[in-house]
Structure 1
Amino acid sequence: MSVRSKLTLSYAGFLMVAGALLLAAVWLFLLRYVPDRALIVSAETPTHGVFPIRTNLLRVFAPRAAAVLALLLVIGLVGGWILAGRMLAPLTRITDAARTAGNRSLSHRIHMQGRQDEFRELADAFDSMLEQLESHVAEQQRFAANASHELRTPLAISRTLLEVARKDPTRDRGELIERLHSVNARAIDLTEALLLLSHGDRADFARESVDLSLLAEEAAETLLPLAEQRRITLDVTGGAARTDGSAELLLRMVTNLVQNAVVHNLPTGGTVTVHTEEHGDTSVLRVENTGPRLPPDMVPTLTEPFRRATDRVRTDEHAGVGLGLAIVHSIVRAHAGTLDLVPGPSGGLLVTVRLPRTRQPTPIRGGAAV
């Protein structure tokens, strides 16, 4: 049975029960006190009307009561069917919207009007879910298109180099091998970045206590040659900032931030400052650099895959694939943290990562801990 049929029978059943109770009340509090035989009164007693006996009243009352119950049944069924239909009309709209969304049409919205009842809350929640799904699907489509384009570029270059070498056997093989190695290395880096990005949002990794200050020092030591090559000053300041998470993923996060800060900097004489600290229940990592000024409307898009702040020539060995901040954002989300990007007033970018701080054990008597 449909929900509308069940509600209709429920309405009719309640109405019949109410009618039966009303008739029972009439019997208990009225008819039972009517005498079951005629009364004899004296001629001097004034009378007004007649004195019916119980059997006559029951003979007259019973058919009328049955007719009233039958009428209540009809009213309950018809009225219940209409009321149930009106009550379930919003649910029908939600069902139609769900079917439309199932046919890959995520742009449809319910936009239910009226009072803020349970159906309105459900419709608003459904509209919000559709909006998020539409945004997520559009983002995935853009990501797939960009990934295909980025992967197609090194493959096309490799094919071109091989075709040129086949048509010109006298060409220097050493130069060909070196260029193929460079192109293939870039394709491998891109593939690994895509794999890391696809797994970055998952929070099923093993967690351990990690000190962000140690990761910052390790990343700075690794990237110091690149900074010296570009004549950029790289400083690491602050104190311990402990959090729970994957040491490997967090190291990749810090390395990406520092590398982006070095690469997206002034041609020479720039600075990069990495600072770690604990603030309340939060461990904070800040990476600030000098560089060209960024339009404020561009900053929120930097965490999208394959978005770059500047149009760089790809001959740079550290030009990247446009996934650095996207991977950082993914890792931060997986660790229940927040990522803030603020353009510097005179250029450059300030990146702030906030992660839940590791709670230190509370000592108790005897040197134990809880």
Structure 2
Amino acid sequence: MDRRSGLSVRLKLTLSYAGFLMIAGFVLLTAVWVFLLRGFPASVFVPNFGNLLRAFDPHNFGPAVFVQAAAVVLLFLLVFGLVGGWILAGRMLKPLTRIADAARLAADGSLSHRIRLPGRQDEFRELADAFDAMLERLEAHVVEQRRFAANASHELRTPLAISQAMLEVARSDPGHDSGELVDRLHAVNARAIELTEALLLLGRSDQRSFTREPVDLSLVAEEAAETLFPFAEKHGVTVETSGDLALTEGSPALLLQLTTNLLHNAIVHNLPEHGSVRIETAARSGFVLLTVENTGDRLSPQQVWTLTEPFRRGTDRVRGEHPGVGLGLAIVRSITRAHDGIFGLAPLAAGGLRVTVQLPARPR
């Protein structure tokens, strides 16, 4: 944004200090005249600038020389206010110089620099600390985005590389069974489409580009359970739904995707036989709660919180032909944040995982 050049803040503060000092001096001299010298005749106040030193001679002091002394005092206050104001303004604005330097470095792409302004807490320290916190969040976000882009590129390149390898094998061996090749290419292509759709959904939820509508999480949970019932039956997992009416506001499609991802993840990462999943909704004061629990292997808290990282599949717990694309819980967390909610993970003592999604309740 182009702006016209103007006076610096330091010069403005200097003029303000000097002007205030001049006004204070004038008020003080006026008060002296009103309360001490107003009884004298007006003729004695005619100044004589021929000898200003007489104003400072106590033997010659009188009302006539008072104006001369006042003029000298005001002139001294003006010079003193300008010089002192310039020095004080420079000292007061010094922290802003450090903040401005840090902002320039951040604009050039250096997010690792921190101001770390010393001294006790005041307005400048609060501004510097807030700026440092912002830089820290930006740096973490940039690192996360770079890691995500690298992982996404790798994940998208894998099915393309597999397809290319299969096509080269088929070209070098014309007698190869084309039906098997088509089936394998179809599976690889389906996985690439699934990954691309997951990436698009993740980006959509991060941008919060959706219309908020009334949503009942209990109905969403029932719909997700009915949709995945054949999938759960195939894996030998029983699904149980329960809970109360849980009204919130948000995107019905995204909240259904959130619940479906949680339920799908709970079914896939379960016991080899006789596993179970319990999905429950509840309404509390000011918020609604969606809880999904499943049986499975025992997990440490450190393992649990790595599951929300993009492309973190937990392959040691995956069984069957549906390993997923590693974005299930990452999408759940993103959708929860987009709905101003809180996402929680906790390992169960007997094995398995408890996932909770807390969303603001719909205002009545």
Shorter-chain TM-score above 0.5: yes
Residue 239 (structure 1) aligned with residue 256 (structure 2):
no
Letter in 2 for 1:226: F
Distance in 2 between the 1:107 and 1:76 partners? Answer: 41
Note the 1:31-70 alignment, pairs <5 A: 31-34=37-40, 57-58=63-64, 60-70=65-75
> Does the 8 Å contact 1:286/1:351 carry over to 2?
yes
1:311 and 1:75, CA in 2 relative to 1: closer, same or farther beyond 3 A? same
- Aligned with 1:105 (options 102, 110, 119): 110
> Could you tell me which amino acid in structure 2 is paired with residue 95 of structure 1?
A
Deviation at 1:281, TM superposition (A): 2.7
User: Are residue 218 (structure 1) and residue 223 (structure 2) matched?
Assistant: yes
Between the aligned residues of both structures, percent identity stands at 65
**Aligned-partner Cα distance in 1 for 2:162–2:317:** 18
Instruction: State the 1:122 CA deviation.
Output: 0.9
What is the correspondence of 1:203-352 to structure 2 with a 5 Å cutoff? 203-311=208-316, 316-352=320-356
Aligned to 2:16: 10
- Structure 1 residue 154, shift from structure 2 partner: 0.5
Please say if 1:74 is aligned against 2:79.
Answer: yes
Instruction: Quote how far apart the aligned CAs of 1:201 are.
Output: 2.5
1:67 to partner: Cα distance:
2.6
Residue in 2 that maps onto 1:156:
161
- Counterpart of 2:94, as a letter, is A
Matched position secondary structure for 1:170? coil
Q: How far off is 1:9 after superposition?
A: 0.6
Using the alignment, how far apart are the partners of 2:186 and 2:130 within structure 1?
52
Indicate conservation of the 8 Å contact 1:294/1:309, yes or no.
Answer: no
Query: Aligned Cα RMSD in Å?
Result: 2.1
Corresponding letter in the other structure for 1:355: L
2:346 and 2:315 mapped to 1: Cα distance? Answer: 16
- CA–CA distance in 2 between the matches of 1:51 and 1:146? 91
CA distance in 2, matches of 1:145, 1:229: 35
Secondary structure at the counterpart of residue 280 of structure 1: coil
Question: How far, CA to CA, are the matches of 2:313 and 2:347 in structure 1?
Answer: 14
Alpha carbons of structure 1 residues 5 and 294: separation in structure 2 relative to 1, 3 Å: same
Q: How much has 1:310 moved relative to structure 2?
A: 3.3
Aligned equivalent of 1:24, options 16, 19, 30: 30
Deviation digits for residues 306-339 of structure 1, max 9, x if unmatched?
112333679x442101100011111111112111
Structure 2: 5+ residue stretches without partners: 1-6, 45-57
In structure 2, distance between residues paired with 1:358 and 1:23: 67
Q: Secondary structure at the match of 1:298?
A: helix
CA contact 1:34–1:53 (8 Å) conserved in 2: no
> Scaled by the length of structure 2, what TM-score is found?
0.89
Between 199-208 and 323-332, report the one with greater CA deviation. Answer: 199-208
**Offset, 1:284:** 1.5
Q: Specify whether residues 52 and 274 from structure 1 end up closer, same or farther in structure 2 by C-alpha distance, changes over 3 A only.
A: closer
Q: Secondary structure at the match of 1:259?
A: helix
CA distance in 1, matches of 2:252, 2:60: 96
Q: 1: distance between equivalents of 2:38 and 2:189?
A: 102
Unaligned residue ranges in structure 1 (runs of 5+): 38-49, 361-370
Q: What SS does the aligned partner of 1:201 have?
A: helix
Partner Cα distance (2:232, 2:196) in 1: 26
Q: What is the CA distance between 1:52 and its match in structure 2?
A: 6.8
The TM-score with structure 1 as length reference comes to: 0.87
Q: How far is the alpha carbon of 1:355 from its aligned partner?
A: 1.6
Cα shift readout 1:221-277 (whole Å, capped 9, x = no counterpart): 221222222211221122322222211111111100000000001111211111122
The match for 1:131 among 132, 136, 145 is 136
CA distance in 1 between partners of 2:237 and 2:67 (Å): 103
Relative distance call for 1:237 and 1:68 in structure 2 (3 A) is: same
Residue deviations 1:22-48 (CA, integer Å, cap 9, x gap): 3333333334434668xxxxxxxxxxx
- Partner Cα separation in structure 1 for residue 350 and residue 61 of structure 2: 105
In structure 2, distance between residues paired with 1:280 and 1:98: 43
Aligned partners of 1:313 and 1:302: how far apart in 2? Answer: 13
Three-state SS of the structure 1 residue aligned to 2:207 is: coil
Q: Secondary structure of 2:165's partner?
A: helix
Structure 1 CA distance for aligned equivalents of residues 215 and 142 of structure 2: 34
Matching residue of 2:52:
none
Larger C-alpha radius of gyration, 1 or 2? 1
